């Protein structure tokens, strides 16, 4: 997982938005497997606001639709609101901050 975060950080620094979105979807998939559904739906809601590769879009949309059926509607509503309030850069910073906090534990 650490290599994924390092890759995310590098892609963000190089402003490779399409790559950043690919990695965010990968992270959301891992969050789903770990039952971190709130985090996953927030990441996917934000990612779906950006243009991305067709295959990445399909993955993101499928996962978001699946989560809409699994989580409380308020979680989805809050994730959509968050996607309108923060930037891609802020989401990446938030993810990296959480990853660094987990490492410090």
pLDDT 10s digits, 64-92: 999 999 999 999 999 999 999 999 999 99
What's the rounded Cα separation, in Å, for the pair 81 and 5? 25
Helical ranges in the chain per DSSP H:
2-13, 17-33, 37-47, 54-70, 73-85, 88-104
| Strand, helix or coil for residue 36 | coil
Q: What is the pLDDT along the chain (105 residues), one digit of tens a residue?
A: 788 999 999 999 999 999 999 999 999 999 999 999 999 999 999 999 999 999 999 999 999 999 999 999 999 999 999 999 999 999 999 999 988 887 666
Q: CA 25, 27, 31 angle in degrees (round to 5)?
A: 115
pTM confidence score: 0.93
């Amino acid at each position: 997982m650490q290599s994924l975060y390092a890759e995310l950080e590098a892609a963000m620094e190089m402003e490779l938005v399409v790559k950043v979105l690919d990695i965010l979807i990968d992270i959301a998939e891992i969050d789903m497997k770990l039952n971190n559904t709130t985090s996953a739906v927030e990441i996917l809601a934000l990612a779906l606001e950006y243009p991305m590769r067709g295959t990445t879009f399909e993955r993101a949309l499928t996962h978001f639709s699946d989560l809409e059926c699994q989580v409380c509607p308020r979680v989805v509503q809050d994730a959509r609101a968050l996607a309108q309030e923060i930037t891609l850069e802020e989401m990446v910073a938030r993810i990296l901050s959480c990853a660094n906090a987990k490492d410090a534990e």
